[in-house]
């Protein structure tokens, strides 16, 4: 699902205009990005937490040549899904009750 499809889906669920939803989504994303860039976390209970994480400097390898190279320390954004989010995704991945004993022939 891309951003336009997300805006359409939220507009359909809420009855609000696509323009209003687009403005709200843009404001939400900008607020999350700004907070995480300032080393703050944004916790949405049940959905997840957006935060920054520090990656230590390390040695990597160029896959084409096998040559060792130095990778600098970096601060990167991180998302940790919440319990409700994880549960819904896991339940959606389970086979339907009637499909559990069937094998592909």
pLDDT digits (tens, 9 = 90+) for 29-57: 999 999 999 999 999 999 999 999 999 99
Which CA distances in Å does 21 have to 16, 34, 48, 58, 80?
7, 20, 21, 42, 25
Give the CATH number for residue 72.
4.10.520.10
Q: In the sheet that 42-44 helps form, which strands lie side by side, from edge to edge?
A: 42-44, 48-55, 74-81
Residue 99 counted as domain residue: no
Per the DSSP assignment, residues forming a β-bridge with 59 are: 70
Domain that holds residue 20: 1-40
pTM assigned to the model:
0.76
17: its two tokens: 């205009």
Tell me how many domains the chain contains.
Answer: 2
Residue 7 counted as domain residue: yes
- Report the C-alpha gap between 35 and 39 in whole angstroms: 7
* pLDDT, tens only, 1-10: 999 999 999 9
């Amino acid at each position: 699902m891309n951003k336009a499809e997300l805006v359409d889906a939220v507009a359909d669920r809420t009855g609000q205009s696509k323009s209003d939803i687009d403005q709200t989504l843009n404001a939400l994303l900008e607020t999350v990005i700004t907070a995480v860039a300032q080393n703050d976390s944004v916790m949405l209970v049940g959905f997840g937490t957006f935060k920054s994480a520090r990656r230590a400097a390390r040695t990597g390898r160029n896959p084409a040549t096998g040559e060792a190279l130095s990778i600098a320390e970096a601060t990167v954004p991180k998302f940790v899904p919440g319990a409700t989010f994880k549960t819904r995704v896991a339940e959606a991945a389970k086979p339907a009750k009637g499909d559990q004993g069937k094998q592909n022939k």
